[in-house]
Amino acid sequence: MARCFVPASITAPSWEGFHFAGQEIRIREAMDCYGAVVWPSALVLCYFLETNVKQYNMVDKNVIEIGAGTGLVSIVASLLGAHVTATDLPELLGNLQYNISRNTKMKCKHLPQVKELSWGIALDKNFPRSSSNFDYILAADVVYAHPFLEELLITFDHLCKETTVILWVMKFRLEKENKFVDRFKELFDLEEISSFPSLNIKLYKAVRKNWRNA
């Protein structure tokens, strides 16, 4: 099953500069590829991680980012001390690896990993439940006009253990977003942490139902 969202080629790269976790971060992006652009939701999540280190301490935590795109969120989590696995579609891994390597080498306690993850596909093989123990799942702007929302929900469910905390930032654009949130609530307890009305963006914390994480 193809998971290539058109346009999907990375050409005419441009650079964006950011400052998080005490470091200058340079990101290579491409305007003709959805997954190779830094979206506002990623900036919201990076700022949240940086400014809430006491409540959401990343040091030595096992963290996976789904739909990592340019890798900015994964880079920030790595700079904050986490064991990070950054995932996305195969055609995005080259740029993702480049950005992560460029911005984390000799700067992080744990070297982040980059791994292919096509939502809903080969999850048991590539992320077996017995060995995939993530403290946090990070996701920024993974819900938009694509036909794989059910597979995304399956992926959240597969990766999430009883103690896993999901930190998820979403920009609301279409009715699909509201419907996905309703479906998500069937499996997870969802708490709105922050809201940015001018951007139509909300930041959520989620845990598997019937579990309360301190």
Say if 149 falls within a structural domain.
yes
Residue 14 resides in a domain = no
Q: Is 8 exposed, middle or buried (0-12, 13-18, 19+ CB in 10 A)?
A: middle
Answer whether residue 12 is part of any domain: no
Stretch 46-69: mean pLDDT: 97
Specify the amino acid at residue 146: H
Q: What is the pLDDT of residues 106-126, one digit of tens each?
A: 999 999 999 999 999 999 999
pLDDT of residue 13 exceeding 70, the answer is no
Count of domains for the chain:
1
Residue 9 domain-assigned?
Answer: no
Q: What is the pTM of this model?
A: 0.89
Any domain includes 2: no
Decide if 156 is inside a domain.
Answer: yes
18 lies in some domain: no
CATH number at residue 107: 3.40.50.150
Answer whether residue 11 shows pLDDT above 60.
Answer: no
Contact 69, 38 (CB under 8 A): yes
Is 126 inside a domain boundary?
yes
132: containing domain: 34-208
Confidence (pLDDT) at 32: 57
Which backbone phi and psi does 181 adopt, to 5 degrees? -60, -40
